[in-house]
Structure 1
């Protein structure tokens, strides 16, 4: 049944709304399984009941009329059990409930499977037969598989339909994601999509149909010209079959029926990019649904052609879009480069359909003090361009078309945040010292020049992590040695004489360079961090030379190596750094050899801390990646975001082991992960003995306020209480209880709802 399964999923993905999705499901499942009935029940979120939403075989007048609570009837039992129910004689089951309006008294055989999405039962898929028989294992397995495959599509169709209805009425609605960066943003959405992704073109209507039709024709002509030129340029290198592909592209663009389809949609006031994307995706799905493998393979050609024209359409339509004041940026998968494109004075919030609270873009958002929500998987973002929205970065909530009362409540929260910031301003020039006299250095994580002023105003004692990859991510090529020198010099001068710790290029994982692609099945366990730069010494040498040149006369540079998993990588890196140092001395630069440190981010480094500490000048823990690798959780994956927990007992014990071992050989230890910027995390780290905590500038005041309000002795008692606990949730409760007990929870704005992990 694999072919049937694939064809149903493709048809569902091509459907325009929820009713079409459900109609396809009940009709196709009934055909394929040769049953008399197929029905779908969906959850009513407001009432909590499950409603008959579509059927092929029961009385169609019963649709929307039959409601079942969880546990009520056979369908309600499927919901509460969260597993299939397969019965030979449904009417004999004690939970059987008869609804005269459905006409289902004729059917004995019953098979119902739950449709589960994000751990919640979204609905129930049911098939029925007149004769008394038990559906066999293959049939049950097919229905279970189909339910799992369709759950996401149904949820997305539900959300899209809800927004379409609400959009016309401008009614308030709500979506939930993962709290990624604290704060509240009240503004207007701006959708960002890849230039050539047909599936990501946002829904938009056009104001002037004639202008849009002209743009479409111009884009077609430009695409035809480009394809002809490419085909001509490559004709000597291509086989006749490959040259024929270019001819096929031209032929498709010349096909008047294709243009007519698009023009008809534009005349219905769709924008040209959206009309083109809809038509081309329909053609792609038709090819994908064909049984002949040759024609199925042509779907990729159609998609490629569609992408080529789409790029021209977007270039024709707009070169530079104006960003409104109070912009809330929304995309399928935001990146640091996308955030940097928006003028900072206009950007107030960020929302990403993919990702989690520990993804790279979430960390950048926190560093910028930008409220952000990640992993809003059910959000049909392409339909909400330019609408009013509230982003609640404490709860992970989005409110579309917020009403006056909701806006008023969030305005009060924004005012409270501003007052809290003013209340903590006086701490900037005071040291981070506990009430019983223990001194801790607080540093900042930076990556942009915009961070500098904010960091110094808030009392940063240096830079614990300068993300050198950010300038690389913002360019379309590798920056030259001189360009790097200028960037690094600005940072070093701004903080001098305070230390600036620069991490060598850390790409790979979720940080990809468009001009240096790394295609891997498992990027976080692959070619990333120091592995890339040791394989490309020309990149590494240019970078460390630029760093050391920039430090001339300042001598406040520290170099840090990411993703070190063994001594051989440290030694290989040190040899290159020493080589660059000697070269610069020979060239006449008056510089001192900077301290060279190691980031402890992978489990192997935890168990070699002693050897690493004996050969390095300092140790810094990257707790974000260390947590990821210890718990085997991809921190960008919203499906497992609830498993990622920096207060997991295994993480805390590893952190304690690192600092204890490094101190035993006389090496200072810092930490530059997100845990250091959380009040509870900072208390535990100070109790463990960490010398330096590095965090984003936004968190500096509240961490300083936290440390000045506690005694180190009490922090030790808290650590001893939680280090032997067995689960992260118990540890978090104990830490929050401590913060509340000492009166910090309200001062630091740490309500129960502040952080939602998934």
Structure 2
């Protein structure tokens, strides 16, 4: 049965259209289950009816003609219940409905299962038998498996029809919605420009070089051309990006060096392979190595290698570059967006980005956040090759993409975009004002940084300090581990930029979705594996160099705070403190009179929540990492589009954990802050302030909205709202309560701008 499942799946996925896929399903399932009939009924939401769309065993002239409403027949029963129904004698069931044109009066037994995609019933898959037959659990499991296989095919076909403006029976459909992952916040309305790969490496054959010297010369010319392209793109973006962000293009250039991809290709050519074949072999080898490492960050580096390979091949083939016309309000779409593609678009025309592959950590997502371009990544169900020239909406807040939006949806998002522009203009006036409630309570608003450009943005938005400096960003932009002096220079820039305000520097936090290309971590479950403090404690030589660099950078400034990530217990904190004091002692012996900074612990894993009191007895402050804590408490990977909707930092379990940690910190008289997406959500920030967090740290772009809201309310009101929320057991009710409370005060205009959009 397993081999049959594989065979049917392969045939269905290779089908040219929906009709062909349905025909394959009914034919093969009937054979596999030794049944007399297999049929597929698809649900028509506009008429609320199930229509026979394919059958093997019934009268084929009934296809497209026989239908029943959702409250009629056994098919309607399966669909309305959204569960499998198995009957040994179907004709005796009160819901049995007879259609003479089908000839089904001859069939006694019935087994039907719903075809479900994203909780929506798309249709019903049915098998029938002439004689009475008790379908067993194996039969049911097989049919359910086939319906799950069919659901994706139907959903894709329906969406494709929507994109073309045609639904079932040729009727117009206003819009289709595709779910991805937010890459950069914001909303955009524009026209899709699809960028296809410039050359196809997969079809390049192996071939013996007729003249090795000629092939080497051709490859060198291609290398020069691609290097010039990358430098040109970097120059074009220079006005929009800070030097540290432009360093992402240096990663491309480093890949083209002789000790990397270029050298491998040259070596193969020298052995007699022609340039194009050598390039294909080297790129394939690199991709296989990346794939075997099985982690998110390295998969993004694989995308970079693919892009470089295609660019080089394009020059080797002397292929003409895809001629693209960029209209006003361009939304750039590709299977794998690269920084090079982004840089090709005139900046004044680019309003949004969509990538079928990728994650929050891709180079494009990093650049998009830096440039303020709404972005959706990992939109894996999106048939991107059909989108060119079609009107799109990009919702970078939720990770949604809408094709062919209806006039109403277009108007709603246009209002959101205009309101965002007006609010941003209004919020500019808050930059120099403190974050103080109407009854005089002050909350420190800090920024998350990682690049030097983040510091400038944070100050422009009025940040009072840095609650989280992601030191790994600099490591990720380098081809090797930065030296102690290189790190000290980078850290000094951050500390000087904010002096005398505090700068909280997190020690190297790699692993999970943030490994380094030159420090590969191969794990089957990286999020629960070797990451954060676990890595650096196992490599004290890396940890000591980084801490020494931080301490050296703070000389004479004394605004450094060190933060330790992924601490799961007091034993790890004890080991880390020993190394920090050792580094401090070494520097004093070397003549550096640096002060011992405050050392804090990130609360990111449940064990740290329960040991907060013990950790506080050893450290100076706590900082909650809301993103990781939420995903670990709820067991949800927020980078996975299939379960991202379950990721909710307003879940009661998360709120209870946060409140208990704040209470533990206050009992010890220690400061506590919080960073991550939750801190940058104005409504959530209201609850965090009420809990007693001393500071909130967020991406700088969110800071004005949070400040605006907290300045419009009394602490006492926020505390009363928190008291109500803490008695709730459903995150949806928490969201509704917050929204209604703020709406009643006239303070809802700066909440999630797209939350009110009717979809």
Asked if these proteins are the same fold (TM beyond 0.5), I'd say yes
| Contact 1:360–1:511, Cα closer than 8 Å, also in 2 | no
Say which is worse superposed, 605-614 or 389-398, in terms of deviation: 389-398
Cα distance between partner residues in 2 of 1:407 and 1:419: 18
1:697 aligned residue:
700
Cα distance between partner residues in 1 of 2:12 and 2:661: 52
Secondary structure at 2:138 match in 1: helix
Report deviation, 1:88: 2.7
Q: Does structure 1 residue 129 correspond to structure 2 residue 126?
A: no
Matches within 5 A, 1:304-319: 315-317=312-314
1:660 aligned residue:
663
Counterparts in 2 of 1:636 and 1:512: CA distance versus 1, 3 Å: same
2:430 aligned residue:
427
Cα distance between partner residues in 1 of 2:20 and 2:572: 57
2:138 aligned residue:
138
Report deviation, 1:435: 0.5
Say which is worse superposed, 407-416 or 705-714, in terms of deviation: 407-416
Q: Does structure 1 residue 17 correspond to structure 2 residue 17?
A: yes
Counterparts in 2 of 1:310 and 1:603: CA distance versus 1, 3 Å: closer
Report deviation, 1:179: 7.3
Secondary structure at 1:97 match in 2: coil
| Contact 1:560–1:599, Cα closer than 8 Å, also in 2 | yes
Say which is worse superposed, 345-354 or 163-172, in terms of deviation: 163-172
Counterparts in 2 of 1:479 and 1:328: CA distance versus 1, 3 Å: farther
Report deviation, 1:126: 1.0
| Contact 1:444–1:694, Cα closer than 8 Å, also in 2 | yes
Counterparts in 2 of 1:330 and 1:313: CA distance versus 1, 3 Å: closer
Counterparts in 2 of 1:39 and 1:482: CA distance versus 1, 3 Å: farther
1:42 aligned residue:
42
2:301 aligned residue:
none
| Contact 2:276–2:313, Cα closer than 8 Å, also in 1 | no
| Contact 1:337–1:473, Cα closer than 8 Å, also in 2 | no
Matches within 5 A, 1:89-488: 89-160=89-160, 162-163=162-163, 173-177=175-179, 180=182, 182-187=185-190, 189=192, 220-221=206-207, 315-317=312-314, 328=331, 348-351=351-354, 369-373=372-376, 376-384=379-387, 388-394=391-397, 396-401=399-404, 410-488=413-491
Secondary structure at 1:698 match in 2: helix
| Contact 1:442–1:460, Cα closer than 8 Å, also in 2 | yes
Aligned residue pair count? 669
2:598 aligned residue:
595
| Contact 1:116–1:151, Cα closer than 8 Å, also in 2 | yes
1:650 aligned residue:
653
Counterparts in 2 of 1:708 and 1:551: CA distance versus 1, 3 Å: same
Per-residue CA deviations over 1:230-269 (Å, capped at 9, x if unaligned) read xxxxxxxxxxxxxxxx9xxx99x999xxxxxxxxxxxxxx
Report deviation, 1:620: 0.5
| Contact 1:336–1:473, Cα closer than 8 Å, also in 2 | no
Counterparts in 2 of 1:722 and 1:83: CA distance versus 1, 3 Å: same
Per-residue CA deviations over 1:638-676 (Å, capped at 9, x if unaligned) read 333333221222222221111111122221111112221
2:509 aligned residue:
506
Say which is worse superposed, 42-51 or 6-15, in terms of deviation: 42-51
Q: Does structure 1 residue 529 correspond to structure 2 residue 532?
A: yes
Q: Does structure 1 residue 551 correspond to structure 2 residue 554?
A: yes
Q: Does structure 1 residue 613 correspond to structure 2 residue 616?
A: yes
Secondary structure at 1:693 match in 2: strand
Structure 2, unaligned runs of 5 or more: 217-267, 285-303
2:83 aligned residue:
83
Cα distance between partner residues in 2 of 1:6 and 1:707: 57
| Contact 1:166–1:173, Cα closer than 8 Å, also in 2 | no
2:737 aligned residue:
734
Report deviation, 1:422: 1.0
Per-residue CA deviations over 1:667-700 (Å, capped at 9, x if unaligned) read 1111112221122211111111111011111211
Cα distance between partner residues in 2 of 1:512 and 1:356: 14
2:248 aligned residue:
none
Cα distance between partner residues in 2 of 1:553 and 1:254: 56
Secondary structure at 1:43 match in 2: strand
Tell me the TM-score normalized by structure 2: 0.78
Cα distance between partner residues in 1 of 2:343 and 2:602: 27
| Contact 1:442–1:692, Cα closer than 8 Å, also in 2 | yes
Cα distance between partner residues in 2 of 1:516 and 1:337: 25
Select 1:688's aligned residue among 662, 687, 691. Answer: 691
1:55 aligned residue:
55
Per-residue CA deviations over 1:151-179 (Å, capped at 9, x if unaligned) read 33443344346546779999964214267
Report deviation, 1:537: 2.0
Cα distance between partner residues in 2 of 1:697 and 1:140: 53
1:280 aligned residue:
none
Secondary structure at 1:127 match in 2: strand
Q: Does structure 1 residue 715 correspond to structure 2 residue 712?
A: no
Report deviation, 1:586: 4.1
Report deviation, 1:146: 2.3
Secondary structure at 1:615 match in 2: coil
Cα distance between partner residues in 2 of 1:225 and 1:127: 64
Report deviation, 1:409: 5.2
Secondary structure at 1:145 match in 2: helix
Cα distance between partner residues in 2 of 1:45 and 1:113: 18
Cα distance between partner residues in 2 of 1:421 and 1:311: 38
Secondary structure at 1:638 match in 2: coil
| Contact 1:504–1:562, Cα closer than 8 Å, also in 2 | yes
Counterparts in 2 of 1:152 and 1:169: CA distance versus 1, 3 Å: closer
| Contact 1:395–1:754, Cα closer than 8 Å, also in 2 | no
Cα distance between partner residues in 2 of 1:155 and 1:544: 52
| Contact 2:445–2:703, Cα closer than 8 Å, also in 1 | yes
1:2 aligned residue:
2
Cα distance between partner residues in 1 of 2:603 and 2:537: 17
Structure 1, unaligned runs of 5 or more: 193-201, 207-211, 230-245, 256-272, 278-306
| Contact 2:39–2:56, Cα closer than 8 Å, also in 1 | yes
Select 2:677's aligned residue among 653, 665, 674. Answer: 674
Cα distance between partner residues in 1 of 2:207 and 2:452: 43
Secondary structure at 1:486 match in 2: helix
Select 1:519's aligned residue among 515, 519, 522. Answer: 522
Counterparts in 2 of 1:308 and 1:740: CA distance versus 1, 3 Å: closer
1:199 aligned residue:
none
| Contact 2:409–2:758, Cα closer than 8 Å, also in 1 | no
| Contact 1:115–1:125, Cα closer than 8 Å, also in 2 | yes
Counterparts in 2 of 1:487 and 1:48: CA distance versus 1, 3 Å: farther
Cα distance between partner residues in 2 of 1:505 and 1:340: 30
Cα distance between partner residues in 2 of 1:321 and 1:55: 44
Secondary structure at 2:645 match in 1: coil
Q: Does structure 1 residue 577 correspond to structure 2 residue 574?
A: no
Cα distance between partner residues in 1 of 2:440 and 2:165: 60
